[in-house]
Amino acid sequence: MNIPISIPDLSGKEFDYLLDAFSSTWISSRGKYIDAFEREFAVFCECNSGIAVSNGTAALHLALVALGIGEGDEVVVPDMTFAATINAVLHARAIPVIVDIEKDSWCIDPREIEKAITPKTKAIIPVHLFGQPCDMAAIMNIANRYNLYVIEDCAQAHGARYNGKKVGSFGNIGCFSFFGNKVITTGEGGMCVTNDSHLDGRLRLLRDHGMSRTKKYWHECIGYNYRMTNLQAAIGLAQLERVESILKKRSKIESDYRDYFAGNQSIEFQRNDINLTEKITWLVCILVDLKKRDFIIEKLKGYGIDIRPFFYSLSSMPIYNQYKFSSRNSEEVSQRGINFPTNYMVTESILSDIGKLLSVN
């Protein structure tokens, strides 16, 4: 048995579009698929502009630089997130400030954000962790009162909503990842979305070496090569055409897990009933007894079932600990968390196997 944590769904027009892009010879960072993917993804996110980039980390770094955040500036980030969030801040030469998460949502705690604000604070990066939207009403209220930028990290939350509005459309810039295990994929890739026309221009300038869009080889600023290829965008556009279907399939997989393990008091699923939020299923997430977590993971891996621990809390790692402001809830969630395989191979038989293995101490 070999059940991976995630499998990209490439059953649509991905190969057709990829072959078309290849045959056109527009295989680098220009072409019709780049334009179409940017346009259609912005529509999906209910934003005015989409700027395709090479990966999700590049999207975060580009957003920080476009907003003028740099040396000496503080940026508030959650303790529970993939390291790309904090690394992007450090790449921008800014100072990350790590704050705790809410116990229920596992997302950044607005109360801790406000406590951590100093005269040097310039931005907040709320991470919609595992498809769960952050409390964007509270976060935007704080940002408005303290005149702070908001960069949404939506790498795991394509299509999630808060109070009926898509994540990525609340802050100054929303950042997405299209890595192979994400809801939709381009293999590697990312996207910045924004409703600000000035930021749209700034992001595009910085993405392409800082080169003028009207005067070839004239560089207006020091930029980066953060471009997506037309080949990647071809795959992304085909994925995007089926994103609602993909989201429904992932949601059904999570429902199957919930139904199968209903009544199992040793498992605590990610909350899906938090007020005003409409989470999506990225990976099926549970909490188990801290003392049993690692044993469960190794046991299921031994049977070819790829279940994974949650991310380490940022503050638990020596290279980031100096930036910690608060971390109580994140430490517990990190140490108890498990991601189940979330793909079409998870059948009733596989659920039964997982259930049997979990029931054996």
Tens digits of per-residue pLDDT, 8-48? Answer: 999 999 999 999 999 999 999 999 999 999 999 999 999 99
Q: Are residues 216 and 231 in the same domain?
A: yes
Q: How many domains does the chain have?
A: 2
Closest among 104, 202, 194 to 154, alpha carbons compared? 194
Do 44 and 111 fall into the same domain? yes
Q: What's the confidence (pLDDT) of residue 356?
A: 84
Q: How confident is the model at residue 360 (pLDDT cuts 50, 70, 90)?
A: low
94 in Cβ contact with 75 (< 8 Å): yes
- What CATH number does the domain containing 295 carry? 3.90.1150.10
Rounded to whole angstroms, how far apart are CA atoms 253 and 267? 17
pLDDT above 80 (res 277): yes
Give the C-alpha separation, 184 to 324, whole Å: 32
Q: Is residue 103 part of a domain?
A: yes
Is 139 part of any domain?
yes
Is 289 a residue whose pLDDT tops 80? yes
Q: What are phi and psi of 354, to 5 degrees?
A: -60, -45
Instruction: For residue 179, tell me if it sits in a domain.
Output: yes
CA atoms within 13 A on the CB side of 19: 4
Two structure tokens written together for 197: 């026309």
26-30 long-range contacts, CB within 8 A, separation 24+: 26/230, 27/229, 27/230, 27/231, 28/227, 28/229, 28/230, 29/208, 29/227, 29/228, 29/229, 29/230, 30/230
Domain that holds residue 272: 243-359
pLDDT band for 296, please (50, 70, 90 cuts).
very high
Element (H, E) at 52: strand 49-53
Q: Across the chain, what does the average pLDDT equal?
A: 96
pLDDT tens for 94-108 read 999 999 999 999 999
Burial class (CB in 10 A: 0-12, 13-18, 19+), 309: middle
| Closest CA relative to residue 179, chosen from 82, 272, 279, 252 | 82
Q: Which residue has the tokens 């009933």?
A: 273
Would you say residue 9 lies in a domain?
Answer: no
Domain boundary among 175, 206, 241: 241
In this structure, are 167 and 266 located in the same domain?
A: no
| SS3 state of residue 354 | helix
The per-residue pLDDT for range 252-272, each reduced to its tens digit, is 999 999 999 998 989 999 999
Adjacency order of strands within the sheet including 161-162: 165-166, 161-162, 277-278
Inside any domain, residue 4? no
Last residue of a domain, one of 189, 217, 241: 241
**Domain check: are 131 and 209 in the same one?**
yes
What tokens were used for 212? 């003028």
Judging by beta carbons within 10 Å of its beta carbon (0-12, 13-18, 19+), is residue 283 exposed, middle or buried? buried
202: CATH: 3.40.640.10
Let me know whether 206 and 343 are in one domain.
Answer: no
* DSSP 8-class letter at 119: T
Residue 6 lies in a domain: no
Nearest-angstrom CA–CA distance, 201 and 76:
25
Answer yes or no: is 315 within a domain. Answer: yes
In the chain, which residue ranges form alpha helices assigned H by DSSP? 14-24, 32-44, 56-66, 84-91, 110-116, 136-146, 197-207, 230-241, 243-260, 290-302, 328-336, 348-359
Helices 32-44, 14-24: inter-axial angle, 10-degree rounding: 140
For residues 62 and 225, give the distance between their C-alpha atoms in angstroms, rounded to a whole number: 10
Task: State the pLDDT at residue 361.
Answer: 55
Side chain identity at 203, as an amino acid letter? Answer: L
pLDDT at 1: 77
Model pLDDT for residues 187-204, shown as the tens digit of each residue: 999 999 999 999 999 999
pTM (2 decimals)?
0.97
Q: Which are the contacts of 19, defined by CB distance < 8 A and separation ≥ 6? A: none
Residue 358's pLDDT is 80
SS (H, E, C) 140-154: HHHHHHHCCEEEEEC
Extract the tokens encoding 194: 């924004």
| Pair (259, 214) in one structural domain | no
Tell which of 185, 208, 241 closes a domain.
241
Domain match, 339 and 233 both: no
